[in-house]
Structure 1
Amino acid sequence: MKTKEVADLVGVSIRTLHHYDEIGLISPDRHENNEYRVYTSDDLAKLQQVLFFRKLGFKLANIQKIVSDPDYDQKEALLMQKKMLLEERSRLSAMVNTIDLTIQNMNGEIEMTNEDKFSGIDFSNNPYEQEARERWGDAAVDESNRKMRQMGTEELETKFREILTDLAEVRHTDPSSEEAQSEINKWFVFLNEMGEYSLAAFKSLGDMYVEDERFTKNIDEFGDGLSEFMQSAMNEYYEQNK
């Protein structure tokens, strides 16, 4: 397959495929006559692996090390990716449910205990903490955990409402605009104060805002169409920062 055919099939840009070639991540053969790139079945299989890793928040440099390892096993990698995605889905579902219930609590529909408000948010067992410690050191992670313990429930609720209210005010602007991206960045930062969200997880959460009718209903109470705007803005945030 030619580059454009692969780009259309996969949903990535031609520039992305060229970049993967330039850094030696996926280097298809060149046609002997006109030098255009020709992707084989093996190239597509490798591209699938790369994109799965990207969706899981892996950086290209790390992906390159993984797939170039002599002991790399594609089936083993797929099983690992599946396990990670299932864990992420379970974690996101718990977080979504807690946020959904919190909005209902704010609307006076239900009454939550303080324990309920943090259901599904386990700060004592952060699956990404070891990676963070390796990348930034113990001090940075310990400081982050200390701030979370100091932040009270009332402060979280107030900040939650303020951010969604501000997002509702710009929901009619272009989601890729500087103003919209500045506001959605506040949401990204807020979520990472409560848990640990990779860019890929942030993007997936945005998709859930329009896929889950209950979630859509509660978010749109801050402004009609806010859920769709946030999905678009979060997808754009992912694209601009990945």
Structure 2
Amino acid sequence: MRTVNEISKLTGISVRALHHYDAIGLLKPTRVTEAGYRLYDGAALKRLQNILFFRELQFPLKEIKVILDNPRFDPGEALAQQIKLLELRRKHIDELISFAREVQKGGTDIMNFDAFQKTEFDRYAEEAREKWGTTKAYAEYEQKRKGRTEEEMKTAADRMMALFAELGSLREHSPADREVQEKIEELQAWITENYYHCTDEILSGLGQMYAGDERMKHNIDQAGGEGTAEFASRAVAVYCSGRRE
């Protein structure tokens, strides 16, 4: 077993990032001691290795969790895909370097954007997502996305941010206040209608991500004001715990 500090030194991943991975369910410690120390075994290290490979390939943490939690996930096959993606990425970088040298030699008037295209890489990455990211919720989201225009998807996303703005206006209240809880219920219904069936379990996981995922936190705080993401996370926790009683 290794401590979180040992894992951090071994991998170069910060302790804060490892705590975040734990909070969103991406990498749970194998055991937590009575003193609160997180301990990781070999299986956890193998999962972390997969996480780092996917992160290097710029997969979002949410997608990585879906992929690794898929019961059909095959580490060997996934590694082969990761190698292929890394090779495509290296090829792309080599082409960019060659093009940059051409520009350097010939002056800045060279106008050719072929080197910036990542079509092959993007197509192969999408295949990996489709193969492993096949939870029921993900499949439902993909089905709804295919049946909508970009404008319709943007409208849905804008309404989601509007809901967070409304939550932000209530952040001086208790997360357990009826008005706040009604807003969480509305949020859950909106996700179900526009993205996938948002069970209490899924909503609970989303609530943790609102405060734990830096990008989500930034976007939510931008919509509702500083502290909205943390407030929404607490309100979701109250809502879901009340539903379990």
TM-score category, normalised to shorter length: 0.3 to 0.5
**TM-score normalised according to structure 2 size:** 0.47
**TM-score normalised according to structure 1 size:** 0.48
